[in-house]
Structure 1
Amino acid sequence: MSEEISPSGNQNDKKTTDNSEITSEINQAETTAQNSTSDSIPSEIDTPETSAVVEKATEKPNTTPETSIETPSKEVKTTEVVTMVEKSDSDTSSDVSEENEVDEEEIETSDDINETDEIEIPEVDYSELSMPNLTEALNNLVTKYPVQKIKDPVDEIKNEFNNQFQELLKTKKEEFLAEGGNIIDFHYESSEKKAFNEAFSIYRAKKNAYYNNLKKSLESNLVTRTALIEELKALVETDESVNKNYKKLKDIQERWRDAGAIPRDKYNTVWNNYHHHVDNYYNALHLDNEFRELDFKHNLEEKQKLIKHTEELAEESDINKAFRELQLIHRKWKEEIGPVAREVSDEIWEKFSAASRVIHDKKEQAEAALEDTFKANYSIKKELIGLIDKVKAEAKPTHKAWQESMKQVQEIRDIFFTAGRVPRDKNKEIWASFKDTMRNFNKAKNDFYKNQKNQQFENLEKKRALIAIAEEHKDSEDYKSATQLMKKVQADWRKIGHVPRNESDKVWKQFKKACNHYFDRLNALKDEENKEEVVNLEQKTVLLDATENLELTGDHKVDITAIKEKITEWKSIGRVPFKKKSIDQKFNKVLDGLFGKLDLDKKEAELIKFENKVNSMVSQDDDRQLQNEQFFLSKKVDEVQAEISQLENNLGFFRHVDDDNPLVKDVHKNIAKHKEQLALWKQKYSKIKAMRAAKDAPQPEIQEAPKSTDEALDTEA
């Protein structure tokens, strides 16, 4: 009879070899990883992939030990710092003692398929965050992600908070001493530090609860599995019927499957012990062939289903998803399904191995393809880090230069975060390098602006002096000299750098008020002097209303004459105030509506509209727009001429073809159409050229005063 009882479905001799190889691989991986927090499922596939799976599942995570939140400042004597920190945190009763910390490295589970493995914590440059934002980031991590997944980012947040807090503590101490205080009396209360300690205590308590519960669960599961092994041992020795014994075996196997993970260091011993006693049971089962054959048949059917599922899984486009599911299939093959008959054992095992190997090969190919991309991303990120160092080194000691440097670094950071993954063994290195580089850049930036305080106070005095000048001349009646002076004051204001933040809005409003007062007076004077333009506006408004209400007779010539009379009358009125020049656009829109109602020749309508458009530009002395329009028309003439030449050249290829040929007729038709367009473009070009020539003698211009300080200056508020 068959002795096949191995988890892989092979005979005893094969089982012994497989188990020893798997145990050897796991032991080797454990020796390398030591205190890993996960364990691989011993794979039944005797291929190189087995070792890869084990190694991946036993990678050692970051095991940096917890440190106290309070880090003594290197700038102050140790005894003094301790006193300060204790005082500032004496009201934080929620702090959890380090003595009660659970060492998660000692709590290792035998279950390597964790539903949290797919959760990725986004990388964040915490050096960019303020202390309140760091506290908020810590709370978000604790709230949104499993506590066992956030150790590394929490450590980063804690270290960054400590760095910023110690810098703040140093600054406060310097201010205290500068004001004549005694070092013994220094005391600093920090609500931000208290809030962070409370958030960190919540994290620590949640982490301890998780690992305490995990430890209890693993130990409880170990007790359950040990008891099940004892029940197995008793089955062989009992005198009960085979039928009753067999039902008990199935019950034990079902409870074994549901027993859960156990401490990792106990896994191999418990697993081998369990299957040893299952082996003993099946050795005794040969006394009743009927039950044995039924069980073998059932196991064969179940393993065939797994093989089919594995073969279908090879078609899955997401290879990572397929590989994770393959692990679950292997667990079921090993843990949940018993042996098969010896005569089919090798055959079914080879099928399962072959189907599994297809997925392993695809995963290897996918990882190999990605590895080249990851290496390229690593090179890109190293180069970006170098660029940040270069920007820092080249930054000039001016506010404008540092603002530009900050903008450049922000662009580099954005590219860094979108550059993609790097090889796993380079990830911590490149991330640490990036954070160090950003920290150095931010330190240089902060040092610069810290040294700018004196300069800002000097700038404040300069701006106050300009405010005094503006207020002195805001009511001046000598508009010619006062206007030049006020413009110079505005220009000088723009050249002065930053002032202290708490004074910036105040001085800006004072300056703006004085300048606006003067230019409002000047504009009022200009409006008085330009009454003629106001009269023109009134006339154009009346004419616009009349044109809008113009009723067409249906007689083409009469209607065209009426519209042209309105255009001629509009041109004769003259300029309107600059702020009201939009009335020309309204008139043109009304004309477009009238032309749309007429059954005009397309070319004629186009020319009338164009002439009105150009007249509008002329009336507003918009020479730049006229120049642009002329350039556009010249370009269109050249383009259409080139197209005609190309079409005529193409006709040369059809010199032996009759003119009645549809293709030739189409080319002739296209040439005629382009020539018609060319004639229209040329007419437009000639018209605008003549109008610009008539404007050779520029009309005297009235200098427009700025409408307000908002338009004369860049807003600083």
Structure 2
Amino acid sequence: MSENDNLQHADGKKEVESTETTPTQPTEIEMNAAEAEVNNDLDEGSVIEIVETEAESIVKSEDDDVEETPETEAPKDDLVDEIEASNAEDAEDESNAERHEVEEKDYHAMTMVELTAEMGRLLKTHKIQTISKHVNEIKGEFNAKFSELLDEKKEEFIEDGGNEIDFYYTNDTKKQFNSYYKEYKQTINVYYKEREQNLKQNLDNRLQIIEDIKGLLSVEENMGTTYKTFKELQEKWRNAGPIPRDKYNTAWNTYHHHVERFYDFLHLNNDLRDMDFKHNYDQKLKIIERAEELAEDENTNRSFRELQVLHKLWKEELGPVGKEHREIIWERFSNATKLIHDKRQAYYADMDKAHEKNLERKEEIIAQITALAEDKGNSHSAWQKKIKEIEALRDAFFKAGKVPLKVNESTWAKFKSAVRTFNRGKNSFYKDLKKDQYDNLKKKKDLIQIAEDNKDSDDFATVTPLMKKIQNEWKTIGHVPRRDSDKIWKQFKAACNHYFDKMHTERKAQDQHLYDAFDKKVKLLDELKTLELTEDPKADITILQDKIAEWKAIGYVPQNKRYIDGKFYKAIDDKFDKLKMDKSKLEMIKFESKLENLADSDDTRLLDNEQNFIRKRITEIKSEINQLENNLQFFSNVKSDNPLVKDVHKNIANHKKELDTWKAKLSKVRGMYS
């Protein structure tokens, strides 16, 4: 039996192992590095593509041209097949480790803008050979979404009276996406052209190395020198670079076969051979222990990815072990591999269940879209509400996750059909609405004509009511086509503004004396605000009264400027409040100032309102005094110097004093009438 009968290949043959004794063989540190490498494994849900390669298992003996096959063939193992096929693919591309660093994203849930941005990001941040799978997924999702948009635009075009043969639509997002995809195709084509040449050359180099190893068997020289040459050839093999995947297993099988023949040729030097066997045995135990640890890892994709690396190390870096260990360690490694395989199969079974739930959710969303499509809205607001609901459902559909592959296309077709039906109903409604909008446009243009015909009129008494009337009519007319809305509003507004500006300018010229009075009052108000009072209350009162008299002497201001009178009398009250004098007297002085202001008003209702307010306040104070006097009856047996009794008497006195002030104010108001 061959020394490597227990290591199985993707083609069903067992692997022929090589040996290594130099420090370049995988040490424990290198094994840890391999572990670190696979932390950049495939994301959950990704599937390793199984590439079938029919490796040539027949190798020729140097001496006799007779086909050699292993004495025993193990049954084909699906998982090892998959691992070998994937490692063969990896061997063709040295950057494969980087490929798995590309983050998996849910492209189905992205918008066209987001997909375009993601395409640009991939081109900018990753090597071109690592993103093919992602680019193809993004392209598929983008084309599906753009196709849906294209259908909508086409229907709108035809319903607006366009001829289907004349339809064309694109947008900036589509143009940018096409630019990115063109860049990708050009770059990847250049890469594959260069790589094809490199792979062919590397294969030629490896075949020559095999020939050189075969040649060692016929060299007649010192065994130590021959062994050194053999190790140098192994190092050249290790650094020879990637080769075509379909030649990978054949090349490795042939290489291992002749490495094994060299060890047979070396059997006289048992020390060298035993040292290699022991080293390989120790390293393979470490690989087995790591595989058994991976069997406990819950992240099945990560464990499978690292298992690939372990199989690659077992096959490519390590040579044979002693015959007494071969079947035992391979069986142990195979058992750990099977455990990982079983967990991975269970993981995909759970994923299938999740995809079924996603399918249920998407079918619910499609049913909701269908229901909205059947609900015929009869107003713009109702349709706008439904449009927002459809947008929310579309987002929910894209974010619902993947469905089973066998129903993916049919589910997408049902979704597009439901959305298309809704859009047809929406377009039909707005087509009818556009007819109404064109009627409204004509009505508003008629009002614009009236406004422009009268905008230069000097007959303000006649035209002003007309302009106000057409402004009100404008508000009652419904929507017009969006493309005309701003334009006609600006025309109408300009004509109306022209008229009213002209009217206000002429009226202002007639009432210039009122505007001059306003300017004087503004100046006087500013002076009052900065006025510093003296310590003599009588002198300060005289000053403030003079200010009031000066204010009245200025006269009237324009109707829309009369607010300044309120500001002035408020400022006067603020100054009075700062005088150091009896509060009741001060209150009467302020009140007299207020009455003079009311008397100057043409509105007699202001004086009536003031009189009614004072009467009401007098009634309230009298009621409060009566209540306090009634409260005193509860203290009939309490001494007069009791704090509570004294407080009640004090409140009664204050209320009576306040009552006298309000009575005096009432008398002043009555005097104003006469």
- TM-score calculated relative to the size of structure 1: 0.51
Is 2:99 the counterpart of 1:120? no
Superimposed CA distance per residue, residues 618-677 of structure 1 (whole angstroms, 9 cap, x where no aligned partner):
xxxxxxxxxxxxxxxxxxxxxxxxxxxxxxxxxxxxxxxxxxxxxxxxxxxxxxxxxxxx
Aligned partner of 1:246: which letter?
Answer: Y
- Decide whether aligned partners of structure 1 residues 291 and 126 sit closer, same or farther in structure 2, where only a CA change above 3 A counts: closer
Superimposed CA distance per residue, residues 308-334 of structure 1 (whole angstroms, 9 cap, x where no aligned partner):
433454565644333222211211111
Give the whole-Å Cα distance in 1 for the aligned partners of 2:290 and 2:436: 74
Per-residue deviation, 1:290: 0.7
Give the whole-Å Cα distance in 2 for the aligned partners of 1:544 and 1:239: 123
- Decide whether aligned partners of structure 1 residues 436 and 278 sit closer, same or farther in structure 2, where only a CA change above 3 A counts: farther
Is 2:489 the counterpart of 1:489? no
Give the whole-Å Cα distance in 1 for the aligned partners of 2:372 and 2:85: 39
Per-residue deviation, 1:307: 3.1
Per-residue deviation, 1:481: 7.7
User: 1:403 — aligned with what?
Assistant: 384
Per-residue deviation, 1:382: 2.7
SS state of the match for residue 393, structure 2? helix
User: 1:592 — aligned with what?
Assistant: none
Give the whole-Å Cα distance in 2 for the aligned partners of 1:245 and 1:545: 117
User: 1:84 — aligned with what?
Assistant: none
Give the whole-Å Cα distance in 1 for the aligned partners of 2:124 and 2:442: 50
Give the whole-Å Cα distance in 1 for the aligned partners of 2:415 and 2:91: 32
User: 1:305 — aligned with what?
Assistant: 286
1:83-232 equivalence runs, <5 A: 109=92, 115-117=98-100, 118-120=102-104, 123=107, 146=128, 148-149=132-133, 150-154=135-139, 160=146, 201-232=182-213
Is 2:260 the counterpart of 1:275? no
Superimposed CA distance per residue, residues 27-62 of structure 1 (whole angstroms, 9 cap, x where no aligned partner):
xxxxxxxxx7856999x998977169469959xxxx
Aligned partner of 2:209: which letter?
Answer: L
Per-residue deviation, 1:363: 3.6
Give the whole-Å Cα distance in 2 for the aligned partners of 1:321 and 1:415: 30
Is 2:4 the counterpart of 1:20? no
- Decide whether aligned partners of structure 1 residues 15 and 123 sit closer, same or farther in structure 2, where only a CA change above 3 A counts: closer
Is 2:221 the counterpart of 1:236? no
For 1:295, which of 271, 276, 292 is the aligned residue? 276
Aligned partner of 1:278: which letter?
Answer: V
Aligned partner of 1:504: which letter?
Answer: S
- Report how many aligned residue pairs link the two structures: 478
1:204-603 equivalence runs, <5 A: 204-313=185-294, 318-396=299-377, 399-427=380-408, 430-431=411-412, 434=415, 438=419, 455-467=436-448, 485=469, 488-489=472-473, 491-493=475-477, 496-501=478-483, 503-512=484-493, 535-536=565-566
Answer yes or no: is the 8 Å Cα contact 1:39–1:57 preserved in 2.
no
Superimposed CA distance per residue, residues 53-94 of structure 1 (whole angstroms, 9 cap, x where no aligned partner):
469959xxxxxxxxxxxxxxxxxxxxxxxxxxxxxxxxxxxx
User: 1:101 — aligned with what?
Assistant: none
Answer yes or no: is the 8 Å Cα contact 1:391–1:405 preserved in 2.
yes
Answer yes or no: is the 8 Å Cα contact 2:297–2:303 preserved in 1.
yes
1:560-709 equivalence runs, <5 A: none
Superimposed CA distance per residue, residues 385-437 of structure 1 (whole angstroms, 9 cap, x where no aligned partner):
34334434435476544433332221112222322343455555545654565
Give the whole-Å Cα distance in 1 for the aligned partners of 2:373 and 2:85: 39
Moved more, 375-384 or 307-316: 307-316
User: 1:73 — aligned with what?
Assistant: none
Aligned partner of 1:380: which letter?
Answer: R
Aligned partner of 1:330: which letter?
Answer: H
Per-residue deviation, 1:377: 1.5
SS state of the match for residue 284, structure 2? helix
- Decide whether aligned partners of structure 1 residues 489 and 207 sit closer, same or farther in structure 2, where only a CA change above 3 A counts: same
Give the whole-Å Cα distance in 1 for the aligned partners of 2:310 and 2:275: 23
User: 1:601 — aligned with what?
Assistant: none
Answer yes or no: is the 8 Å Cα contact 2:213–2:233 preserved in 1.
yes
**Structure 1: runs of 5+ lacking an equivalent:** 7-11, 24-35, 59-105, 552-561, 574-717
- Decide whether aligned partners of structure 1 residues 403 and 386 sit closer, same or farther in structure 2, where only a CA change above 3 A counts: same
Aligned partner of 2:104: which letter?
Answer: E
Answer yes or no: is the 8 Å Cα contact 1:306–1:329 preserved in 2.
yes
Task: Specify the structure having the higher radius of gyration (Cα).
Answer: 2
Per-residue deviation, 1:472: 8.3
Answer yes or no: is the 8 Å Cα contact 2:437–2:481 preserved in 1.
yes
Give the whole-Å Cα distance in 1 for the aligned partners of 2:85 and 2:500: 74
Give the whole-Å Cα distance in 2 for the aligned partners of 1:546 and 1:346: 113
What RMSD over aligned residues (CA atoms) do the two structures have, in Å? Answer: 6.0
Answer yes or no: is the 8 Å Cα contact 2:210–2:258 preserved in 1.
yes
Aligned partner of 1:376: which letter?
Answer: K
For 1:50, which of 69, 79, 86 is the aligned residue? 79
Give the whole-Å Cα distance in 1 for the aligned partners of 2:191 and 2:466: 76
Aligned partner of 1:282: which letter?
Answer: Y
Per-residue deviation, 1:337: 0.8
Superimposed CA distance per residue, residues 209-257 of structure 1 (whole angstroms, 9 cap, x where no aligned partner):
2332333333233223322322232233333444333333433333334
- TM-score calculated relative to the size of structure 2: 0.54
- Decide whether aligned partners of structure 1 residues 54 and 451 sit closer, same or farther in structure 2, where only a CA change above 3 A counts: farther
- Decide whether aligned partners of structure 1 residues 163 and 396 sit closer, same or farther in structure 2, where only a CA change above 3 A counts: closer
- Decide whether aligned partners of structure 1 residues 116 and 53 sit closer, same or farther in structure 2, where only a CA change above 3 A counts: same
Aligned partner of 2:476: which letter?
Answer: D
- Decide whether aligned partners of structure 1 residues 487 and 498 sit closer, same or farther in structure 2, where only a CA change above 3 A counts: closer
- Decide whether aligned partners of structure 1 residues 203 and 398 sit closer, same or farther in structure 2, where only a CA change above 3 A counts: farther
Give the whole-Å Cα distance in 1 for the aligned partners of 2:563 and 2:327: 104
User: 1:608 — aligned with what?
Assistant: none
Aligned partner of 2:98: which letter?
Answer: E
Superimposed CA distance per residue, residues 663-694 of structure 1 (whole angstroms, 9 cap, x where no aligned partner):
xxxxxxxxxxxxxxxxxxxxxxxxxxxxxxxx
Q: Which has the higher contact order (CA 8 A, sep 6+)?
A: 2
**Structure 2: runs of 5+ lacking an equivalent:** 16-48, 56-72, 512-556, 595-674
Answer yes or no: is the 8 Å Cα contact 1:304–1:348 preserved in 2.
yes
Give the whole-Å Cα distance in 1 for the aligned partners of 2:442 and 2:112: 33
Aligned partner of 1:295: which letter?
Answer: D
Give the whole-Å Cα distance in 2 for the aligned partners of 1:41 and 1:111: 22
- Decide whether aligned partners of structure 1 residues 127 and 450 sit closer, same or farther in structure 2, where only a CA change above 3 A counts: farther
Give the whole-Å Cα distance in 1 for the aligned partners of 2:427 and 2:111: 12
Per-residue deviation, 1:380: 1.0
Give the whole-Å Cα distance in 2 for the aligned partners of 1:158 and 1:51: 37
- Decide whether aligned partners of structure 1 residues 140 and 352 sit closer, same or farther in structure 2, where only a CA change above 3 A counts: closer
Give the whole-Å Cα distance in 2 for the aligned partners of 1:385 and 1:424: 18
User: 1:79 — aligned with what?
Assistant: none
Superimposed CA distance per residue, residues 169-217 of structure 1 (whole angstroms, 9 cap, x where no aligned partner):
x979x99999xxxx9xx9x999989998876654442232233233333
- Decide whether aligned partners of structure 1 residues 316 and 347 sit closer, same or farther in structure 2, where only a CA change above 3 A counts: same
SS state of the match for residue 267, structure 2? helix
- Decide whether aligned partners of structure 1 residues 302 and 138 sit closer, same or farther in structure 2, where only a CA change above 3 A counts: closer
Answer yes or no: is the 8 Å Cα contact 2:52–2:85 preserved in 1.
no
Answer yes or no: is the 8 Å Cα contact 1:5–1:282 preserved in 2.
no
